[in-house]
Amino acid sequence: MKRINIDSTRLWHTIMEMAKIGATPKGGVKRLALTETDKAARDLFCFWAESDGFEYEWDSVGNIFVTLQGKSKNLPPVLIGSHLDTQPTGGKFDGIYGVMAGYEVIKTIKEQGIKPSRPITVVNWTNEEGVRFTPAMAGSGVFSGVYTEEEIYNSTDNNGMTFKNELEKIGYRGHRKSVDYEAEVYIEPHIEQGPILESENYKIGIVKGVQGQLSLDVSVTGFESHSGSTPMNMRKDALVSSSKMCLALNRMATEQFPGSVATVGKMIVHPGARNTVPGKTYFTIDIRHPRKDILFEMESKIKQHFQNIADETGTKVEIRKAWFTPPVIFNSICAETLRKSAEFLGYNFMEMVSGAGHDACMVNNKVPGCMVFVPCEKGISHNELENASPEDLATGANVLLYSVMDFAI
């Protein structure tokens, strides 16, 4: 077949236009879900869709669907999507690239005069980031039946405003139930949000799945005492005990469990006085691995090691499981289609597992799904310095184009 390509200049332009909405002084974007900036981004997306002659609508939780109709309206569509909301100090590409790449694909297919056999729909999922409202991936979660509409409607932000009221306020609460939508397959394009593709010099990542995540809350209790008059060998220092636990966790992930990552992201020290031996600490642990059994083995080892450290330091430790998200395995046929497209186009690629969660994790519960990654500069994401090259973004969009045509033409 004659090779066609997306318009890389146009793709870059749409991403940069979106980046103006909620732009920050340091070159990033702040566009929290269901705010006026989110509304402005949604309005622009819908304006483009109407101007280009596409059908569009939004569902009961504000997910926006822009559709290139096929020969048969009765067949479930090929779905492409991601999100337009960002972190408070977010970048221009996280989520936005996926929506704009999808939109560029349906524009290209339409311009080429190609009539797909089934519809192709680009979706903007509501509240992927979970910054203003929790849980994250709310819109895709309701679509997939993981969350109920009422659960999401009743969630509140820090000012007590409900999701439902704020959705209505910006005018994006639709009538059609999100869970009633169907799709044949789902593909999510995304920047990698990590350094692997760039460091290994690959243009494309074929994402086989997403790591599981286990989050633990740890409390260590020692004994508060005077920092000047308590001998070192008579202390029950909760912070020293916690520090040894953190180092043990780091060694475990580095040496015992290859492929895992472990992070202590938050620590609180009590009483937090300059001249008092800490009597209590609280810290969080985030561990991730592609295999559930490894995560549970790590949890068991953590409990064992931490108890030994507590015994050695004369402290007490309590460990509570905050949450567990099982690993996600994406549809193999969908991933194989991405691989064949990359091969046909002559792009080098690697298979990989995503370290971060995405809407595709939710959608995969209902619709066969997969993801395609492109490199981002130095792996930086969730940061105003987030960056990706126009060439790499176009490469990913071309792989998306051929994969979508494989399913829809």
Binding residues for Zn(2+): 83, 94, 129, 190, 382
Amino acid (1-letter code) at residue 361: C
Q: Tell how many helices (H) and how many strands (E) occur in the chain.
A: 12, 16
- Alpha carbon 71 to its chain centroid, in Å, reads 33
Q: Is 275 exposed, middle or buried (0-12, 13-18, 19+ CB in 10 A)?
A: exposed
Residues tagged in the binding site annotation: 83, 94, 129, 190, 382
Asked if 80 and 121 touch (Cβ cutoff 8 Å), the reply is yes
DSSP for 317-349 reads EEEEEEEEE--EE--HHHHHHHHHHHHHHT--E
Asked if 135 and 147 touch (Cβ cutoff 8 Å), the reply is yes
Residues contacting 111, CB < 8 A, separation 6+ = none
DSSP H or E stretch at residue 18: helix 8-19
- Three-state DSSP state, 112: coil
Phi/psi at 3 (5° precision): -75, 130
Residue 135: CA atoms inside 13 Å, Cβ hemisphere, count? Answer: 18
Asked if 201 and 349 touch (Cβ cutoff 8 Å), the reply is no
- Quick one: residue 314, left, alpha or beta (phi over 0 = left, psi -120 to 50 = alpha)? left
